[in-house]
Amino acid sequence: MALSQSMTTFLRCLSPKGTELQATRSFSRIFRPGSRSGQGHSTCTAGCVTTLLQPRTLPLKPGCVQASSAAPAASMKADKPLTAQGEITSFEVNSKGNILNITWHDGQKSNFHSLWLRYSCNCKACLEENTGQRLYLCENLDPDVLIKSVEREGDNLVVVFRGKENHKGFVPIQFLKQYDYSSKALAIKKAAIEVNIYATEIPELTYDDVTQKEDGVYRWTKNLSDYGFCVIKGVPTEETMVTKMAEMIGPIQDTIYDDVFDVHVSDHQLTNVAYSADGLIYHQDLLYYESPPGLQFLHTLKFDDCVSGGESLIVDAFKVANEFRQSHPNEFEALATIPATFQKIHYGRSVPVHMTFTRPLIGLNAEKQIVGVHWEPAHEGPIEVPENRVEDFYRAHIAFAKAVKEAPVQFEWRMQEGDLLVFNNRRVCHARNGFVMNGGTRHLKGCYVNIDHFKSRVNVLSQKFGNGDLSKRVGNMCLF
Ligand SMILES: [Fe+2]
Ligand SMILES: [Zn+2]
């Protein structure tokens, strides 16, 4: 069934649509093979280094340290040809010697500081060859290091430094493009990973899509990166399948609810109200951890027709927060600056738990972009903040709760046996309608995967099967 006429429609899907969403491509921070543009040059001015147009070998100056090899170390390896975007037309060093200015083929200019360049040297003496780990450490860095000369050799810039050490190293031009920190480059890179794609219908793949097709896991993780959730249809209803599927993305993340948990009505003393037939309001899981679960996997093993209720709900917390910022700027500011307390204090367990973690409900980076949303009202404790912020906090909290509950785009549907719901617990909130068993059974098997493993998997698979796009922000408070 069609789910919405527009993004402002409340989405209620009782029968998930069978179409799958294609991954949407956007700006790539990783360079792909492409044609090289013609080389340009600059003229030498007083104190500046002239651009070399042709590769050549530099004579080693007295006092210079010869790099052990011209080959870059593993993780920084510039093993792809430059794209047109990555090509430079000229470069020069300023008269002081502390700035290398590069003009790219599109006319954009970037400055690289001598300290940055020295620390970023890609030679084997500075980076371990196989692992790419840094051998040249910050403690070795001469704070007054300057650039003596820069010349081009193929796709690298060979840089000779002066100061306490006269190191001769190099940085690939591709590396400079990738890590360009000009304000424009940073803005483009940050915009590319911003959460700005939202689902208008439930992203779905089939079990065969994921397990039988070469790019199946990539398409799965790409949906999770773009939309924050995805349903895999037709996963065999075996107890071990949820972990087998999860391990296709990353290792299982253990928690106080064990590595694998059963969501069903239990006769045992409750360790969490999820193990009852009660409804659960929108929330994220385990925000009282420093590193709350990343992906959550919920595999429907049994959901008898006679069970009434028990529908699953998803809302994109990032979308809610972005809209809340527009509609409630003051309350948004309060939630982004006043720390909330998340806690799990439960001594009546076989292993008592006393966990607290304090953080604002909305996390921002230096550019005020949203990098985290934290919403788990049932596990919030009393706030301990300056007196003049207490009322601001609760008023903003009440407003945000309303925004989550009344979000114009929500997904509500009844899981089918074999459905595997996977969502990014850092980005979306999930909920459940209460249910009545009527003599039947509702049994989901769940587990988590750490957010870092997920993000890494997206990036790696994107290199192989996609166009190199990095993961969208996953909500883990990464400040980039
Ligand atoms: Fe939950
Ligand atoms: Zn070096």
Q: What is the pLDDT of residues 363-373, one digit of tens each?
A: 999 999 999 99
**Domains in the chain, start-ordered, CATH in brackets?**
74-191 (3.30.2020.30), 197-465 (3.60.130.10)
The confidence band for 376, taking pLDDT boundaries of 50, 70 and 90, is: very high
Give the Å distances, CA to CA, from 292 to 195, 235, 298: 19, 26, 16
SS3 101: strand
The answer to whether the CB of 302 falls within 8 A of the CB of 442 is yes
Rounded mean pLDDT of 106-124? 97
In sign, the C-alpha dihedral spanning 141, 142, 146, 147 is: negative
Q: Which residues pair with 150 in a beta bridge?
A: 159
Taking phi first (over 0 means left), then psi (-120 to 50 degrees means alpha), and beta for anything else, what does residue 285 get? beta
Give the distance (Å) from ligand 1 centre to CA of residue 362. Answer: 19
CA atoms within 13 A on the CB side of 54: 1
> How far is the first Cα of the chain from the last one, in angstroms, to the nearest whole number?
39
Give the distance (Å) from ligand 1 centre to CA of residue 14. Answer: 20
Q: Which ligand is nearest to the CA of 119?
A: 2
Q: What is the pLDDT of residues 143-199, one digit of tens each?
A: 999 999 999 999 999 999 999 999 999 999 999 999 999 999 999 999 999 999 999
Give the distance (Å) from ligand 1 centre to CA of residue 286. Answer: 8
Give the distance (Å) from ligand 1 centre to CA of residue 409. Answer: 19
Q: Which residues surround ligand 1, an ion (CB under 5 A)?
A: 285
Token pair listed for 392 = 């601001």
Rounded mean pLDDT of 311-334? 98
The confidence band for 19, taking pLDDT boundaries of 50, 70 and 90, is: very low
Q: Which ligand is nearest to the CA of 377?
A: 1
The candidate with the shortest Cα–Cα distance to 89, out of 62, 67, 70, 107, is 107
The answer to whether the CB of 169 falls within 8 A of the CB of 161 is yes
Whose tokens are 């064990």? That residue is 258
* CA–CA gap between residue 175 and residue 295 (Å, rounded): 31
In sign, the C-alpha dihedral spanning 15, 19, 20, 23 is: negative
Whose tokens are 């051998």? That residue is 135
* CA–CA gap between residue 117 and residue 121 (Å, rounded): 6
The answer to whether the CB of 189 falls within 8 A of the CB of 90 is no
Token pair listed for 170 = 């190099």
* CA–CA gap between residue 475 and residue 428 (Å, rounded): 9
Q: Which residues pair with 102 in a beta bridge?
A: 91, 110
* CA–CA gap between residue 338 and residue 470 (Å, rounded): 31
Give the distance (Å) from ligand 2 centre to CA of residue 236. Answer: 53
Give the distance (Å) from ligand 2 centre to CA of residue 120. Answer: 8
**pLDDT given for residue 82 in this prediction:** 62
The model carries a pTM of: 0.83
Q: How far is CA 68 from the centre of its chain?
A: 36
